[in-house]
Amino acid sequence: MKAPRLFYLILALGCASLLGYGYYLQFVDGLEPCPLCIFQRIAYIGIIIISFIGLIHGPGLTGIRLYSGLLSITSLTGAGIAARQVWLQHLPPGKVPECGPDLEYMMEVFSFAQTLQKVFTGSGECAVVDWTFLGLSIAEWSLLCFLGLACLCFIHTLRGRINNWL
């Protein structure tokens, strides 16, 4: 297996594992995801899809740059969403926004743009920390994972350039 294909396989499996654990927490432990959590899941699914396409394609240097760019954008978007949730979780109790309607209701009633605006302006449910590991919430772990993925994509691009120079 060529190195780029192995890289994309590892990314896809890593993100699938993260999603799998999120679904475990939801369906086995009963932790309901907030709207920001759902958008983070969408970012992980985007990374899986792009990685899977890269796995099938087995790109050369130009393809590695393209896929790494797409993966970096998706990872940094997910990091931005996770950072917003971390910020909400660290607000003082009196500054946390009121809980709004759930995402399903907003998608039915509001336009997509209005729904995004309402989700990203915050909701009290997104500030709740129901689970921690080593002192970090799910949103904090997700932020670290997204940033790590973006760094890996950058390194992968550099590695492709270095190998091309040799």
In the predicted model, is pLDDT for residue 40 greater than 70?
Answer: yes
pLDDT tens digits along 132-152: 779 888 889 999 999 999 998
Its domain, for residue 23, covers: 3-165
Contact at 8 Å (CB) between 88 and 96? yes
Burial string for 87-101 (b: 16+ CB within 10 Å, else e) reads ebbeeeeeebeeebe
Give the angle subtended at the CA of 139 by the CAs of 14 and 68, to the nearest 5°.
40
Beta bridge partners of 132: 137
Q: SS3 of 137, please?
A: strand
In the predicted model, is pLDDT for residue 50 greater than 90?
Answer: yes
**Model pTM above 0.85:** no
Q: Please, which pLDDT band fits residue 116 given cuts at 50, 70 and 90?
A: low
Q: Among 37-46, 48-57, 122-131, which is the least confidently predicted range? A: 122-131
Q: How far apart are CA 164 and CA 149, in angstroms?
A: 23
Token reading at 90: 């660290």
State the residue for tokens 């915050």: 122
CATH number of the CATH domain containing 113: 1.20.1550.10
Q: How far apart are CA 127 and CA 64, in angstroms?
A: 37
As for how many domains the chain has, the answer is: 1
pLDDT at 163: 47
In the predicted model, is pLDDT for residue 46 greater than 90?
Answer: yes
Contact at 8 Å (CB) between 133 and 107? no
pLDDT tens digits along 71-92: 999 999 999 989 988 888 877 7
